[in-house]
Amino acid sequence: MMNDLCSVIQLLAALTIGFVILGHTKLFIDTLKKNYFKVGQIISEACGDFRKRLIPEGLVEKLKPMVINGKSTQGSIEKLKIDQERIRKRIEDDEEKWTKGVNDTELTRGLSSSCLFVFLVSVLLLFAPTARTMYGTAVELFLLLFCTLGIIYLIVGWIPLWEGQTLRQAVYWFLVFVVGSVVFSVAFSLLWNFDFGELWKYMFVIVVLFGWLNFIAHALIMIWRPMTKLKKEIAKEKKEIDRMCNESNEDYSFLIRIRDDFSDGGDGDSGNGWRTITPPPPTNPK
């Protein structure tokens, strides 16, 4: 059974070390985000919808101040321009923040560290058939605990809280598992006489299987989680952008109504925007 899995383990080792050394981890995550999760498209469409709510800059620039009952609309026009620029800046900041968020280096680092761990485990397992031929039960006990710890490590590594693990930590835990498994196998062989049967074989197969599932787990857990968070942020931000745009559109509509009510239809300027009305000069007291 162990010899039958050697080719599978060799392929797994080659693939995982390629992810670590050749930078395939980032390429793998970027490909998933672009082609499967369509992150860029989601952000672009969301921000595009936000921008559609903005009043075209040309229309705002056409507004000309006018004085009505001694009060100028200059302040209202300036406020409208400032509000529109504030919304536009907020959309740009959202787009930058969301793009940076889904490109978080912790996603790449988490997958790289787990790939390095799987590579180290795979290399060790390639020597297991020969070692078992030489040392028999002691190696079986070693594999029983080592594979169990390896499975637990990978499962825990899929938990979002562990996504920022480093390569150094992966090597550290691998060495801890090796030393612990050696101590366990020696101590158990000397102190206890208990037969675990062929349980070690099942753990051997499972840890290899989990090594392959590691890629899928990171795709579905480590990328899906920030994607879900991103969609919630977009939905929340849409409500706020809508509120800001509605207030700004009301101000614009009010200014347009004033223009239509007070513009001189016969002066030929109605198509260009505002007509400025100046109040009469004050009379000198006698």
What single-letter amino acid sits at 180? Answer: G
Q: What is the pLDDT of residue 189?
A: 79
Closest CA to 116 of 12, 221, 28, 6: 12
Q: 240 Cβ partners below 8 Å, 6+ apart? A: none
Domain that holds residue 197: 6-264
Residue 160's pLDDT is 64
Residue with structure tokens 């670590």? 20
What was the pLDDT predicted at 21? 78
| Residue 136 maps to a domain | yes
The DSSP code for 1 is -
Q: Is the pLDDT of residue 123 over 90?
A: yes
Q: How many CB atoms are located within 10 Å of the residue 264 CB? A: 10
- Highest mean pLDDT of the ranges 104-108, 218-222, 272-276: 218-222
The pLDDT tens digits for 7-44 are 899 998 888 888 777 767 777 777 777 777 788 888 89
**Please, what's the largest Cα pairwise distance for the chain?**
123
Beta bridge mates, 68:
71
pLDDT of residue 104: 60
Highest mean pLDDT pick, 152-166, 187-201, 245-259, 262-276: 245-259
Q: Is residue 286 part of a domain?
A: no
CA angle 105, 106, 109 (to 5 degrees): 85
Q: Is pLDDT at 282 greater than 70 in this prediction?
A: no
Does residue 270 belong to any structural domain of this protein?
no
- 141 assigned to some structural domain: yes
- In a domain, residue 119? The reply is yes
Residue 19's identity, in one-letter code, is: F
The mean pLDDT value of the chain amounts to 81
* Residue 49 pLDDT greater than 70, yes or no: yes
Q: Which pLDDT belongs to residue 178? A: 96
Q: Which of 8-22, 81-95, 233-247 has the lowest mean pLDDT?
A: 8-22
Kindly calculate the radius of gyration of the chain based on its CA atoms and give it in whole angstroms.
Answer: 33
What pTM does this model have?
0.67
Give CA–CA dist 154/159, Å, rounded: 9
| Segment 170-199, tens digit of pLDDT | 999 999 999 999 999 988 877 776 677 788
Q: Which of 45-49, 114-118, 146-150, 154-158 is predicted with the least confidence, judged by mean pLDDT?
A: 154-158
Average pLDDT for residues 157-168, to the nearest whole number? 71
CA dihedral sign of residues 274, 275, 276, 278: negative
Question: Is 95 within the bounds of a domain?
Answer: yes
CA distance 163 to 121: 19
Domains in the chain: how many in total? 1
The whole-number pLDDT of residue 162 equals 57
pLDDT at 268 over 60: no
Please state the rounded mean pLDDT for residues 264-280: 37
Within a domain: 283: no
131, 18, 224, 159: CA torsion to nearest 10: 40
Q: How confident is the model at residue 246 (pLDDT cuts 50, 70, 90)?
A: very high
Residue 72 near residue 66 (C-beta atoms within 8 A): yes
Out of 44-53, 63-72, 241-250, which region has the weakest mean confidence (pLDDT)? 63-72
